[in-house]
Structure 1
Amino acid sequence: MQRENRHRAGHRIRQPEDYEAFIPSPLPPDPPLVLDNGILDLLSQADRALGRLDGSTEVLPQSDLFVYMYVRKEAVLSSQIEGTQASLTDLLEHEAREKEARSGDVGEISNYIAAMNHGLQRLKHFPLSLRLIREIHAKLLEGTRGSTRTPGEFRKTQNWIGPAGCVLAEATHVPPPPHEMMITLGDWERFVHDETPMPILIRLGLLHAQFETIHPFLDGNGRVGRLLITFLLCQKEILQRPLLYLSIFFKRNRQEYYDRLQAIRDRGDWEGWIRFFLRGIYEVSQEATETARRIVALRERHREQILNRLGGKAPNGLKLLEVLYRMPYMTVSRASEEIGVSFAAANSLARSLREAGLLAEVTAQRRNRLFRYEEYLKLFGEGTEEKETSGKGTDGEMPGSETGGSGNDENAPTE
Structure 2
Amino acid sequence: MIELEKYQSGHYEKAYGYKYFVPTPINEEWVWRTSAINKLLEKAAVKLGELNSFARLVPNIDLFIQLHVTKEAVVSSRIEGTQTNMDEAILPMEEVKPERRNDWQEVSNYVQALNEAILELKKLPISSRLLRQTHNTLLQSVRGEHKLPGEYRTSQNWIGGNSLADAVFIPPSHTLVNDLMGDLEKFLNNDEINVPALVRIAIAHYQFETVHPFLDGNGRIGRLLITLFLVSEGILDKPLLYLSAWFEKNKGLYYDNLSQVRTKSDMLQWIKYFLAGVEQTAAQAVNTLSNVLELKAKIEQEITAEFGRRSNSALILLNSLLENPYTTIEKASKTCGLSYKAANDLVAAMQQKNYLVEITGQSRNRIFIFEQYLNAFKAD
Q: TM-score range by the shorter chain?
A: over 0.9
> 2: distance between equivalents of 1:300 and 1:291?
14
- Residue 43 of structure 2: aligned partner: 45
SS in 2 for 1:363: coil
CA distance in structure 2 between the partners assigned to 1:338 and 1:353 by the alignment: 15
**Distance 1:377-1:321 versus aligned 2 partners, 3 A rule:** same
Measure, in 2, the Cα distance between the counterparts of 1:143 and 1:106.
11
* Mapped pair 1:71 → 2:69: yes
Report the CA distance between 1:365 and its aligned residue: 3.0
- Structure 1 residue 258 and structure 2 residue 251: aligned? no
How well do the aligned residues superpose, as a CA RMSD in angstroms? 2.1
For 1:200 and 1:333, locate their aligned partners in 2 and report how far apart those are by CA, in whole Å.
47
Check if 1:128 corresponds to 2:115: no
Q: Does the Cα contact within 8 Å between 1:102 and 1:108 map onto a contact in 2? A: no
Bigger helix share: 2
Query: Residue deviations 1:8-27, cap 9 Å, x none?
Result: 11111112x13211111111
Q: 1:102 to 1:254 in 2, by over 3 A?
A: closer
- The whole-number CA distance in structure 2 between the counterparts of 1:98 and 1:18 is 45
Q: Which amino acid aligns with 1:138?
A: N
Q: Which runs of 5 or more residues in structure 2 are unaligned?
A: none
Residues 5 and 314 of structure 1, relative CA distance in 2, 3 Å threshold: closer
Which residue number in structure 1 is paired with residue 13 of structure 2? 13
- Partner residue of 2:274? 277
- Per-residue deviation at 1:7? 7.0
Contact 1:101–1:107, Cα closer than 8 Å, also in 2: no
In 1: Cα distance, 2:11 partner to 2:100 partner:
41
Q: Which has the higher contact order (CA 8 A, sep 6+)?
A: 1
TM-aligned CA deviation for residue 103 of structure 1: 5.0
| Residue of 332, 345, 353 corresponding to 1:348 | 345
Question: Which residue in the other structure is 2:206 paired with?
Answer: 209
Q: Which amino acid aligns with 1:293?
A: S
Q: Sequence identity of aligned pairs in percent? A: 39
Q: Which residue of 1 aligns with 2:181?
A: 185
Whether 1:115 and 2:106 are equivalent positions in the alignment is no
Scaled by the length of structure 2, the TM-score of the pair is 0.94
Q: Residue in 2 aligned with 1:330? A: 327
Is 1:93 the counterpart of 2:53? The answer is no
Question: Aligned pairs, how many?
Answer: 376
Residue identity opposite 1:180 in structure 2: L
Give the residue type in structure 1 aligned to 2:208. F
Structure 1: state its 5+ residue gaps. 384-415
Cα distance between partner residues in 1 of 2:57 and 2:294: 11
The answer to whether the 8 A contact 1:309-1:356 is kept is: no
Equivalences for residues 233-252 of structure 1 within 5 A? 233-252=230-249
Paired with 2:99 and 2:199, the residues of 1 have a C-alpha distance of 37
Other-structure match for 1:56: 54
Q: 1:310 to 1:350 in 2, by over 3 A?
A: same
Task: Give per-residue Cα distances to partners, 1:176-211, cap 9 Å, x unaligned.
Answer: 101122221111111111111111000010111100
- What is the alpha-carbon distance in structure 1 between the residues aligned to residue 215 and residue 238 of structure 2? 30
CA distance in 2, matches of 1:275, 1:29: 20
Report runs of 4+ in structure 1 exceeding 4 Å deviation: 4-7, 95-103
Shift of 1:29: 6.8
CA contact (8 A) 1:208 1:225 kept: yes
Contact kept, 8 Å, 1:244 with 1:284, in 2: the verdict is: yes
SS of equivalent residue, structure 1 residue 325: helix
